[in-house]
Structure 1
Amino acid sequence: MRVVIAEDSGILRDGLTYLLTDRGHRVLAAVADPEALRAAVDEHRPDIAVIDIRMPPTYTDEGLRAALAVRAAHPGTPVLLFSQYVETRYAAQLLAGGADGVGYLLKDRVAEVSEFVDALTRVAGGATVLDPEVVTQLLAGGRGAEELTGLSVRERAVLGLMAEGRSNVAIAAALFLSVGAVEKHITSIFGKLDLPPSETDHRRVLAVLRHLQSEH
């Protein structure tokens, strides 16, 4: 993959560059601020951009807004947000603008390098990859915390894995359930969130994200 990295921490920026290069990928640019990110994407047209959310000058949501700008200037460019924080203000807007090739992972929840590289590969290929905590907070922001109480603990776990783009078989394996049980949970989730069911995993993710956007 041809990758552009935007991360204000020099240690993390160099670390990501080394890890990806060591695995055969090309890091075309590794920058520290949103302006440099946009310039790098304009110049290189990468296969994917890895973007931290809190960057100069205010260290709030510059990365998210830069991701929106990148997608506006170059529609369909895959972006993987990689942050310590969940920022919902622009996240739903980014996802609703087209969830194909969008990822949002939390740094402290990625335990293995292989998990990160796998997510990067999937997002570059057009998948949607979201950390379950991101999904939970988007749901809370979109529908109110009281609506989350309508989902059982198991349904929340299934929803999180759905949002990661996992198939029913993969969800069943992760949660030690039968595929039939997973299908029943998914049907219940769609019913509680007033979403039409779909046979396609990716469309299920898009349906959830569209619904979240409609509530903002």
Structure 2
Amino acid sequence: MPIRVVLAEDDVLLRKGLAQLIDAEPGLEVAGEAADLSTALEQIDTLRPDVVVTDIRMPPMKKDEGIRLAALLREQHPSIGVVVLSQHKEPAYAYALFEHGVAGRGYLIKERVAEVRDLTDAVRQVAAGLSVVDPAVVETMVRTRSSGKRSALDALTPRELEVLRHMAQGKSNAAIGKVLGLTEGAVQKNTNAIFAKLGIAEERDINKRVRAVLLFLDQDG
């Protein structure tokens, strides 16, 4: 069975272009399209897709409809994944998207989706209950995060904090190891310790990385 997608995007040319690209990808199918929040909700209730790909700002108010849509789906249709595809890097949007859980949620920046595979891979990961965050969004969060409490991070060693800081920049274990002069196995050992100390050791690996980064961005001063 193909992964069924509903597209919610008010720019008709972009929406039609995305629909053609997704339909051309093996294993993916565009089940419906919407140009505003109310139509998107109707399409989702009727078609019950696996994933919704949505912009953030759509009619009627063109403010945060995509984020509100994701929140409604978390309550009403928790099995449906959401990929937010937007031009907005504001960290508040990403925090709001992941506020009620990271599973089955993705946040990508339109201008950084250089290849069709960037989007289709995100759709597949979100459909599987995993999470995707564009590194550009993480960078913005790092630059703009406010100082605050550090209680959840106090248990981490200096090395673990260093690993977590690089993780927040979207680096893989191999890339972190290269920067810090550690083997990939040593980095994995540190990440496992980070997950355990932050109380997220039981979640899927990609979700754990996203949760750890969000905790770091929220609490590191």
Worse-matched range after superposition: 97-106 or 195-204? 195-204
2:86 — aligned with what?
83
| Counterpart mapping for 1:26-105 below 5 A | 26-105=29-108
Superposed displacement of residue 61, structure 1: 1.4
1:7 — aligned with what?
9
Q: Is the 8 A contact 2:192 2:201 kept in 1?
A: no
Superposed displacement of residue 52, structure 1: 0.4
Superposed displacement of residue 140, structure 1: 5.3
If the length of structure 2 is used for normalisation, what is the TM-score? 0.74
Structure 1 residue runs without a partner (length 5+):
163-169
State the one-letter code of the partner of 1:182: V
Q: Is the 8 A contact 2:177 2:184 kept in 1?
A: no
Superposed displacement of residue 46, structure 1: 0.5
Between structures 1 and 2, the one with greater helix share: 1
Identity of aligned residues (%): 39
For the residue of structure 2 that corresponds to 1:161, the secondary structure is coil
Superposed displacement of residue 64, structure 1: 1.0
Larger Rg: 2
Superimposed CA distance per residue, residues 69-116 of structure 1 (whole angstroms, 9 cap, x where no aligned partner):
122211231000000102433532331312111000001112111121
Structure 2 residue runs without a partner (length 5+):
151-157
What RMSD in Å do the two structures reach over aligned CA positions? 3.4
Superposed displacement of residue 133, structure 1: 2.3
1:165 — aligned with what?
none
Distance change >3 Å, CA 95–CA 197, structure 1 → 2: closer
If the length of structure 1 is used for normalisation, what is the TM-score? 0.76
Which one of the candidate residues 105, 112, 115 is aligned to 1:112?
A: 115
Distance change >3 Å, CA 184–CA 20, structure 1 → 2: same
Which one of the candidate residues 160, 167, 170 is aligned to 1:158?
A: 167
